[in-house]
Chain A
């Protein structure tokens, strides 16, 4: 059974209020809402890298950082998370909405 997003606290932007409350089940529920019914291994690679970076720097990584440090080519990122990859991936990863311009 799918995780019910109504059970967790979201911020004003609809992102997970507390990144520590994140679970993989929660990620799957967010992903379905974002139009990604199946999270593949490559999706998880992005999600895990983002969470790891956030843990270290308290900042959501940029698309460039995902490319240069995370090894996820920009083209592929846009294919994995269509129509707004940085925001979508951050939401699925249980992180706040990215604040930067790039």
Chain B
């Protein structure tokens, strides 16, 4: 797993489908590749939204049940609140040169990371391989995920 204390491989699980739920995993995967660390991404449950052709460009910030918003959930349910928070976050991200989800997925893939969709979630949501962007390597079960993660640090987001 480690040579001279250096991390050589990571497996990152993305389990949430909001914009704020998806980015940390993507930034960590991209950052790993930037450091020459092997990276595998496993999208599960609502995390699948990040790699779905029809959904990946439309992810929103979760304004309800999110204490970090410093906003009562009652306000979070107001129409336009999530759209507003999403716009603000995207604007700040752009300033830092952090790409939108679809471009980020493409960059991470081009950087050599491998992307997988979780089979149980795919079956649960009645999805097919065609529903996912071309960067997705395969739909795999949890056993295969562990096989692919041999020697890796596993990070759940």
> Residues of A at under 8 Å CB distance from B?
62-65, 67, 73-75, 78, 82-87, 100-102
Chain B residues lying within 8 Å of A73, measured Cβ to Cβ, are 110
Known: A64-B103, A87-B34, A102-B99. 17 other contacts (CB 8 A): A63-B107, A63-B111, A64-B107, A67-B107, A73-B110, A74-B111, A75-B110, A75-B111, A78-B33, A78-B111, A78-B112, A84-B35, A86-B34, A87-B35, A100-B96, A102-B31, A102-B34
CA distance A86 to B97 in the complex (A): 14
CA distance A100 to B110 in the complex (A): 19
Chain A residues lying within 8 Å of B35, measured Cβ to Cβ, are 84, 87
Do A64 and B97 have beta carbons less than 8 Å apart? yes
CA distance A65 to B97 in the complex (A): 7
Chain A residues lying within 8 Å of B99, measured Cβ to Cβ, are 64, 102
Chain B residues lying within 8 Å of A86, measured Cβ to Cβ, are 34
Chain A residues lying within 8 Å of B36, measured Cβ to Cβ, are 82-84
Chain B residues lying within 8 Å of A87, measured Cβ to Cβ, are 34-35
- The binding surface of chain A is classed by DSSP as helix
CA distance A53 to B64 in the complex (A): 41
For this complex, 15 residue pairs linking A to B, each with C-beta atoms less than 8 Å apart, are: A63-B34, A63-B107, A64-B103, A64-B107, A67-B107, A74-B107, A78-B111, A84-B35, A84-B36, A100-B96, A101-B31, A102-B31, A102-B34, A102-B98, A102-B99
Chain B residues lying within 8 Å of A78, measured Cβ to Cβ, are 33, 110-112
Q: Known contacts A74-B110, A74-B111, A78-B111: does B33 contact A102 (CB below 8 Å)?
A: no
CA distance A87 to B106 in the complex (A): 21
